[in-house]
């Protein structure tokens, strides 16, 4: 699928945001081209962190940087980002091919031959060849997630944000999808940020961890260091599952 050379480091520089009664103050660096897991208790601010990177939330102070570029003023559609959520954002009334094609061109205009080829190649890549005309409600959870991955592949964006993408899947399928994500990541080299509640997924997928609590980033470090932080009750509680 070709390496995405410009995968950036993502930096939150003294970012401040208030949502209801919750005040966020976030400083972090998310390494370029790595898979970083975002973990922490419910309500810690994990989804808010992704929303700030994607541009669905705007800080009241501070900056969001992709390498040296300040993306804070940019609308979500102007940021070089793909998103995958638990419900995988598919349109139920559009077939698999069209759902993936929307990644290339976010309108229903007909694609040219090279774009159609890219969509077909992505479907082959994620193991969905022959399913082009199926509608999402007729697919299994794992197949729907593969459609979402195919769409990410055709978008070719250097940043991929995932909010508990596999939480709705049973454990066996979760492992399969984690392997597929690892494989796609090796091929694209994009900067991946994945929110997870699953310690096994964190171990298996990530090289770095951001651990959040109460709207703060408590730890940002390589996964191996995080896994040795069993002296911290919150970390050992997370790792116990």
Report the side by side order of strands in the sheet with 159-163: 81-85, 159-163, 191-195, 35-39, 208-213, 216-222
Q: Which stretch binds ligand ATP (CB under 6 A): 2-10, 17-25, 91-99, 220-228?
A: 17-25
Q: Which stretch binds ligand ATP (CB under 6 A): 8-16, 44-52, 148-156, 223-231?
A: 44-52
Angle, CA 178 vertex, CA 173 and CA 183 arms, to 5°: 125
Does 18 interact with ligand ATP (rule: CB under 6 A)? no
State how beta strands 69-70 and 61-66 pair.
antiparallel
* Residues written for the chain: 241
End-to-end Cα distance, the chain: 35
User: Which residue, 42 or 107, is less far from ligand ATP as judged by CB?
Assistant: 42
> Can you tell me which of 2, 5, 20, 133 binds ligand ATP, judged by CB under 6 A?
20
User: Which residue, 40 or 142, is less far from ligand ATP as judged by CB?
Assistant: 40
Name the DSSP letter for residue 138.
Answer: G
Q: Which stretch binds ligand ATP (CB under 6 A): 43-51, 72-80, 132-140, 226-234?
A: 43-51
Does 42 interact with ligand ATP (rule: CB under 6 A)? yes
By CB under 6 A, name the binding residues for ligand ATP. 19-20, 22, 40, 42-48
């Amino acid at each position: 699928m070709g390496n995405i050379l410009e995968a950036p480091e993502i930096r939150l520089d003294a970012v401040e945001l208030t949502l209801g009664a919750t005040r966020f103050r976030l400083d972090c660096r998310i390494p370029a081209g790595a898979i970083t897991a975002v973990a922490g208790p419910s309500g810690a601010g994990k989804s808010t962190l992704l929303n700030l990177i994607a541009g669905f939330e705007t800080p009241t102070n501070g900056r969001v940087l992709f390498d040296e570029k300040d993306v804070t003023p940019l609308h979500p559609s102007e940021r070089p980002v793909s998103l995958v959520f638990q419900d995988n954002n598919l349109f139920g009334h559009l077939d698999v091919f069209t759902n993936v094609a929307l990644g290339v061109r976010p309108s229903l205009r007909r694609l040219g031959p090279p774009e159609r080829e890219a969509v077909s190649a992505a479907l082959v890549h994620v193991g969905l060849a022959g399913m082009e005309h199926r509608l999402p409600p007729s697919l299994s959870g794992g197949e729907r997630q593969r459609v979402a991955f195919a769409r990410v592949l055709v978008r070719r964006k250097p940043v991929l944000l995932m909010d508990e993408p596999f939480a709705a899947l049973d454990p066996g399928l979760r492992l399969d999808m984690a392997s597929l994500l690892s494989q796609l990541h090796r091929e694209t080299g994009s900067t991946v940020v994945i929110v997870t509640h699953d310690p096994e997924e964190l171990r298996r997928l990530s090289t770095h961890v951001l651990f959040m609590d109460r709207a703060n980033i408590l730890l940002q470090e390589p996964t191996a260091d995080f896994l040795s932080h069993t002296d911290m009750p919150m970390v050992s509680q997370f790792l116990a599952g």
